[in-house]
Amino acid sequence: MPEIRRIVPDGPANPLVAVLAYDGLCTFEFGCAVEVFGLKRPEMGPRWYRYAVASVDPGPIRAAGGLTVVADGGLEVLDRAGTIIVPGWRGVDAPVPEPLRDALRIAHARGARILSLCSGAFVLAAAGLLDGRRATTHWRYHAALAARHPRIRLVPDVLYVDEGSVLTAAGSAAGLDLMLHLVRRDFGPEAANSVAHRLVLPAHRAGAQVQRLLRPVPPERGSGARLATVLDEVRRRLDEPWDVARLAHAAATSRRGLHRRFREATGMSPGDWLIAERLRRAQELLQASRLPVEEVAAAVGFGSAATLRLHCRARLGATPRDLREGGLRVPAA
């Protein structure tokens, strides 16, 4: 493969990330936002994110677990933010104050990106920001969100959905996947990998990965460990042909057994997993290099730019150019 010339994105035009705090704050989701955007990371350079907390309610905020939070200001903080995060909500039946709805609508209209984590999707929905858009939330809340806001194009059982300026994540930990995805959009895969490494997290889980596995992930011994080794080998050699027969032979199992183990470990069929991995690697190459699309397609095993474009359209609703610019999206419903 030709030498890769790295592209280092400049980051967002407005680096201020404002995270909402409210009485009854979801501590875990809030903490995830702090970990990704609120810590000083001098190794990332001067254009790294700035961070502020915007209070929805007056006074010290009571958070789950007996904690209190003192915010940097009220909703006026959102006026300055380039990115706004709604870390859950105090309850799916809890009303969303009109001042908050107005502030979110105004911020979005001027170009701010707005993210919701878990039940925070109900706040975006109440503000009308999800009408006509694809969105997701925790699997427990899908029915309630669909019933109350039928104009949302709800995408069930995915980790997150990126609609450009409005992004939604499923359960609590999926918020980390979405926020790392945003770091990848803003600063490239190496920056996202660095943050993930600090957090001891996988560098990337595609948004279309299922929220719930039908069976437990097998323990890292015996057949489970063998499959994990095969997956690592495939990732290292994506440019090679990997049909079901070869995968089954490498995993020392039958074709039927291979499908069962893939479903248990990844929630996907072998073919779907392979396409997802090739698309993930294609995005990394497109964002981190100036390789032509044809060479990227060959490097990840798609063979041709036409095949890469086909899978990008079918799986991500995007083009290779979109991926180069960081716009990864999950499949349309």
pTM: 0.68
d(CA 43, CA 75): 31
Q: pLDDT tens across 300-315, in order? A: 999 999 999 999 888 7
Q: What are the beta bridge partners of residue 14?
A: none
d(CA 163, CA 14): 19
Q: Do domains 16-199 and 272-324 have the same CATH topology?
A: no
Q: pLDDT tens across 177-201, in order? A: 899 989 988 988 788 888 888 887 7
Among 3.10.580.10, 3.40.50.300, 3.40.50.880, 3.40.50.720, name the CATH number for the domain at 16-199: 3.40.50.880
CB 318 within 8 A of CB 286: no
CB 244 within 8 A of CB 258: yes
Mean pLDDT across 7-33: 91
Determine which helix (DSSP H) or strand (DSSP E) holds 279, and give its type and residue range: helix 270-288
- Helical spans, DSSP H, in the chain: 27-33, 98-109, 121-126, 142-148, 174-187, 189-199, 222-236, 244-250, 255-266, 270-288, 293-299, 305-311, 320-324
Over pLDDT 90: what percentage of the chain?
62
Label residue 204 left, alpha or beta by phi (over 0 means left) and psi (-120 to 50 means alpha). beta
Question: Of residues 117 and 264, which shows the higher confidence score?
Answer: 117
Flag whether pLDDT at 150 surpasses 90: yes
Flag whether pLDDT at 333 surpasses 80: no
Q: pLDDT tens across 93-116, in order? A: 999 999 999 999 999 999 999 999
Among 2.30.30.30, 1.10.10.60, 3.90.700.10, 3.20.10.10, name the CATH number for the domain at 272-324: 1.10.10.60
Mean pLDDT across 172-178: 87
Q: pLDDT tens across 274-295, in order? A: 998 998 889 888 877 889 999 9
Question: Of residues 297 and 190, which shows the higher confidence score?
Answer: 297
45 token code pair: 């350079």
Flag whether pLDDT at 1 surpasses 50: no
d(CA 22, CA 53): 10
Dihedrals phi, psi of 26, to nearest 5 degrees: -75, 105
pLDDT on residue 225: 67
pLDDT band at 9 (very low <50, low <70, confident <90, very high): low
Flag whether pLDDT at 326 surpasses 70: no
Domains of the chain: which residue ranges? Answer: 16-199, 222-266, 272-324
Q: Which residue has the tokens 């890769």?
A: 4
Q: Which residues contact 285 (CB under 8 A, 6 or more apart)?
A: 4, 291, 296, 299, 300
pLDDT on residue 172: 76
pLDDT on residue 240: 95
pLDDT on residue 4: 47
Flag whether pLDDT at 318 surpasses 80: no
Mean pLDDT of the chain: 86
